[in-house]
Amino acid sequence: MLSLKAITNTISDDFPEENIARLKKHNIQSFWLHMGLALVLLSSLVYAHVGSIRSLIIWFGFLTVTGFIRLNHNSSEIKPSKFDPSSSKIWVSKYILLTTLMSSLWGAAGVFLFSEEPVVQTTLIILLISVLIATIPVVLASRAAFFAQFITILAPLAFSMSYNFSSGDHIMLIICLVALAVTIIFASSYLNQVITQLQETQQALQAQAETDQLTQLANRRAFDMSFKKEWRRSTRERNPIALLIIDVDDFKLYNDTLGHYTGDEYLKKVANAVRSNARRPSDIAARIGGEEFAILLPGTGVDGAYRVAERLQKSVERLDVKYPLDKNRKLTVSIGISSCSPKQSKEGGNTDIVFPAMLIKSADYAMYQAKREGKNTIVVEGCGMHSVPEPIKDSPLKEPSDVVPV
What confidence score (pLDDT) does residue 398 get? 35
Separation of alpha carbons 33 and 316, rounded Å:
61
Separation of alpha carbons 212 and 268, rounded Å:
11
If you write DSSP's letter for every residue of 329-393 in order, what string do you get?
A: EE--EEEEEEEE-SEEE-TTS-EEE--HHHHHHHHHHHHHHHHHTTSS-EEE----STTS-HHHH
Nearest to 406 by CA among 391, 397, 396: 391
The residues annotated with a catalytic role in the active site are 291
Residue type, 320: D
pLDDT band of 307, cuts 50, 70, 90? very high
If you write DSSP's letter for every residue of 141-184 in order, what string do you get?
A: T-HHHHHHHHHHHHHHHHHHHHTTGGGTSSHHHHHHHHHHHHHH
**336 — phi, psi (to 5°)?**
-110, 140
Residue type, 217: L
Helix ranges (DSSP H) in 48-73 = 53-72
- pLDDT score of 216 more than 70: yes
Q: How many CA atoms lie within 13 A of 185 on its CB side?
A: 15
Contact (CB, 8 A) for 251 and 376: no
What confidence score (pLDDT) does residue 213 get? 83
Separation of alpha carbons 275 and 306, rounded Å:
16
Higher pLDDT, 177 or 294: 294
Q: What is the pLDDT of residues 314-363, one digit of tens each?
A: 999 888 888 777 777 788 899 999 988 876 544 444 445 567 788 888 89
Contact (CB, 8 A) for 351 and 399: no
- Beta-bridge partners for 298: 241
Lowest mean pLDDT among 92-106, 190-204, 367-381: 190-204
Alpha carbon of residue 278 to chain centroid: 21
Domain ranges within the chain, ordered by starting residue: 4-209, 220-402
Separation of alpha carbons 323 and 385, rounded Å:
37
User: Using DSSP, how many helices (H) and how many strands (E) does the chain show?
Assistant: 13, 9
Contact (CB, 8 A) for 6 and 145: no
Q: What pTM was computed for the model? A: 0.55
CATH domain 220-402 topology: Alpha-Beta Plaits (3.30.70)
Bridge-based pairing of strands 378-380 and 351-353 is: unpaired
Taking the CA atoms of 306, 308, 310 and 312 in sequence, report the sign of the dihedral they define: negative
- pLDDT score of 404 more than 90: no
Separation of alpha carbons 275 and 229, rounded Å:
20
Task: Please give the mean pLDDT across all residues of the chain.
Answer: 78
Higher pLDDT, 211 or 405: 211
pLDDT band of 52, cuts 50, 70, 90? confident
What confidence score (pLDDT) does residue 68 get? 93
- pLDDT score of 393 more than 60: no
Separation of alpha carbons 14 and 243, rounded Å:
28
Highest averaged pLDDT of the listed ranges 114-123, 132-141, 273-282, 378-387: 273-282
Q: What is the pLDDT of residues 159-189, one digit of tens each?
A: 777 665 545 555 656 666 666 666 666 666 6
